[in-house]
């Protein structure tokens, strides 16, 4: 179910995003550095009404960033407004986990966790997903951070609930398969469907 952000945040039409230093190292390093730019490119193309801006302040304080991005392997944990949240997590899956912290039906903060070691099946067995697949995972979670829930998942864009991966001969050739109007296509480039864009616009219309 889609949930709007607080009125003050919605009126400014932007979300500040803090990326934990640990997320910029290792496997996610080459991807995480440009996911904000990737999302903003989509937002301009589809006129979503919201853009992301980088922040150097963690999202654990009332006056910190609106969105925090981190990676996780076996568990997820964060604290907001003195209340801790934790749950188990499998860092090898093909999706992340986004928590929308809300009060009185309005989102105040979003905590995004990305799988630290996403794995895909190939004819040669399991291996780490390529950067294109990781890009889809990350931007998918940023769509959640805009206020969309799992019930809003689509089947014909990057917001699909279970990405259909076509593995390449190498990780660099991995793609996500989507079917739009009976026509098969592959991501990247990233695409959003009319249903997804309408839901985001509905949350951010001013």
CATH 3.40.390 fits 7-152, yes or no: yes
Query: What does DSSP assign to residue 152?
Result: G
Degrees, nearest 5: CA angle 187-184-28: 15
Query: pLDDT tens across 76-99, in order?
Result: 999 888 889 999 999 999 999 999
Indicate the average pLDDT of the chain: 93
pLDDT score for 188: 86
Residue 18, both tokens: 């803090």
149 confidence band (pLDDT: 50, 70, 90) = very high
What percent of the chain has pLDDT above 90? 80
127 is written with which tokens? 């291996």
Sheet with 97-103, side-by-side order of all strands:
51-55, 14-19, 67-72, 106-115, 97-103
Higher pLDDT, 197 or 26: 197
Pairwise CA distance, residues 173 & 187, whole Å: 11
Coil, strand, or helix at residue 162? coil
Task: Give tens-digit pLDDT for 29-75.
Answer: 999 989 999 999 999 999 999 999 999 988 766 778 999 999 999 99
59 in helix, strand or coil?
coil
> Of residues 156 and 182, which shows the higher confidence score?
156
Q: What's the rounded mean pLDDT across residues 159-186? A: 89
Domain boundaries, the chain: 7-152
């Amino acid at each position: 179910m889609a949930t709007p952000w607080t009125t003050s945040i919605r009126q400014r039409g932007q979300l500040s995003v803090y990326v934990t230093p640990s997320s910029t190292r290792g496997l996610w390093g080459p991807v995480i550095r440009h996911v904000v730019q990737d999302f903003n490119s989509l937002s301009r193309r589809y006129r979503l009404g919201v853009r992301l801006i980088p922040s150097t302040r963690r999202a654990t304080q009332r006056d910190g960033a609106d969105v925090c991005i981190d990676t996780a392997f076996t568990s997820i944990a964060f604290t907001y407004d003195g209340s801790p949240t934790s749950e188990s997590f499998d860092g090898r899956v093909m999706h992340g986990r986004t928590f929308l912290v809300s009060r009185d039906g309005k989102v105040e903060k979003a905590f995004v966790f990305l799988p630290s070691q996403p794995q895909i099946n190939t004819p040669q067995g399991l291996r780490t997903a390529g950067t294109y697949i990781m890009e889809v995972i990350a931007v998918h979670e940023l769509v959640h951070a805009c206020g969309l829930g799992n019930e809003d998942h689509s089947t014909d864009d990057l917001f699909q609930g279970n990405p259909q991966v076509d593995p390449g001969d190498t990780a660099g050739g991995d793609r996500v398969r989507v079917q739009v109007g009976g026509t098969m296509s592959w991501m990247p480039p990233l695409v959003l469907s009319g249903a997804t864009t309408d839901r985001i616009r509905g949350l951010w219309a001013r």
